[in-house]
Structure 1
Amino acid sequence: MLQSLVVDHLLLESGDAVWVDARGNGTTQQLCQIAPTMRVLDRIHIARGFTPWQHYSLLTDLPDQITEDTSLVVLPEFDWFYRADDLRRGQGERMFSEAVSRVMELLDNVDVPILLTLSERDDFAEPLHNAVSETVECELTKYGPRFSGDSFETLVYPLENGMVQTTIAYWNQILAARHPAVVPVTSSPEVTTVGAN
């Protein structure tokens, strides 16, 4: 699902994605399955750490990796490394808090959206909850992943037979565009997922 959001972003926007991976979310196999062309994959630059210290070091170096061509920063399962059992008591919390501070500094210095996910939503991740500007919920449905947030939602799902499953919100947008006097425009923009809207 994260991979779908990244590929869809790159298909809609020019520029590259800088990805600091955790837990194997940025594998080529997953990305190749959803990318319509290999040229899209050339625009995803992935760095991998295998320990909390390596991940933290990659975050420290992240500002140097962002160029004028960067249109998205991806930080999957951002908290995962800092929950490791091999860290001393309290060390994971301190490293995570400092990692959140690094991301906040990055947001202050560059105008690039950051797509960040968590491995768990609990008190440990609280420092991040206070810093997030928008939360996107993902729900697995029988038609595919449904993304929803304050400013968008998934409106159309692709079916295997080449057809699509639409939502009521989708038809509200169609009616609002064609008959604005009948239906007020209050629907949020749509989100594409795996080539569908």
Structure 2
Amino acid sequence: MRGQRTQPELPTLDPGLTLLEVDDRSTGALHSLVLDHVLLESGDAVWVDAHGHGTTQPLARIAPSLRLLKRIAIARAFTPWQHYSLLQALADECTTETNLLVLPAVDYFYRSEDCSDREGERLFTAGCSLITDLATTADVPIVLTRTADDAFTAPLMERVNTVIQCELTTFGPRFAGEDFETLVYPLADGTFQTTLAYWQRVLSARHPTLTSATSEVSTHGAN
């Protein structure tokens, strides 16, 4: 039908380790995947943050409902040892309600000047082993990102089950994996947005019931 708009698609996150390779220009890609998964599943997410990815501003701007943020628990590290300790404690933080683990920039702290190259490599490799064990015992999706594709992250790549690429093309942002390729989401004027507002539109289109309910609450609250 003329004027009919194709609903946007996002990859499904399956149990195991999923590495999201993100184009630096595709702001909000990780956040959109996390929020979409939490919306689709009746559970919570646990987010171990590094390099400032877990700030509430992008999550709040993308989420169709701010109530959704209550289902995402964020733990922040500021040193490689803190990050490693959070990985060690992650299994205890998982409950029967946990359906997603998020580990952005998982290699970031171990490359820092806070520790020597050898110590950083040792801690990172040990952290990868912890994550692998957790993927086996928790049986939930674990989505990760890394700061660079190099020899340092080889221990991670040996353990990853799925790789999803997100890149900015001339037609808009595009997710691609072995069994998935996203459809871009056009705006009414024929252009594409790659800002946080773009991902908010994607999630609103994919979850219209929640968006409508939120709008009604806001309208009644303003009266």
**Structure 1 length normalisation: TM-score?**
0.80
Structure 1 CA distance for aligned equivalents of residues 30 and 104 of structure 2 = 8
Cross-structure match for 2:48 = 20
Task: Identify which of 96, 99, 121 aligns with 1:68.
Answer: 96
Query: Structure 1 112/122 Cα, relative in aligned 2: closer, same or farther at 3 Å?
Result: same
Structure 2 CA distance for aligned equivalents of residues 193 and 127 of structure 1 = 34
Query: 8 Å contact 1:8–1:195 — kept in the other structure?
Result: no
Q: CA deviation at 1:21?
A: 0.3
Query: Structure 1 19/133 Cα, relative in aligned 2: closer, same or farther at 3 Å?
Result: same
Structure 2 CA distance for aligned equivalents of residues 195 and 153 of structure 1 = 20
**What are structure 2's unaligned runs of at least 5 residues?**
1-28, 193-200, 207-223
Q: CA deviation at 1:110?
A: 1.2
Q: CA deviation at 1:85?
A: 1.4
**What are structure 1's unaligned runs of at least 5 residues?**
166-191
**Structure 2 length normalisation: TM-score?**
0.71
Q: CA deviation at 1:9?
A: 1.0
Q: CA deviation at 1:156?
A: 3.5
Is 1:98 the counterpart of 2:126? The answer is yes
Spell out, residue by residue over 1:53-73, the C-alpha distance to the aligned partner (whole angstroms, 9 max, x if none).
Answer: 000000000001111111110
Structure 1 CA distance for aligned equivalents of residues 140 and 179 of structure 2 = 17
Cross-structure match for 1:54 = 82
Is 1:8 the counterpart of 2:36? The answer is yes
Q: CA deviation at 1:158?
A: 4.0
Structure 1 stretches of at least 4 aligned residues deviating more than 4 Å after TM superposition = 162-165
What secondary structure is seen at the aligned counterpart in 1 of 2:174?
A: strand
**What is the aligned-residue RMSD (CA, Å)?**
2.0
Q: Which has the higher contact order (CA 8 A, sep 6+)?
A: 2
Spell out, residue by residue over 1:88-136, the C-alpha distance to the aligned partner (whole angstroms, 9 max, x if none).
Answer: 2300000000000000110111110100110111000000111000100
Q: How many residues align?
A: 170
Query: 8 Å contact 2:171–2:184 — kept in the other structure?
Result: no
Structure 1 CA distance for aligned equivalents of residues 129 and 170 of structure 2 = 38
Task: Identify which of 130, 138, 143 aligns with 2:158.
Answer: 130
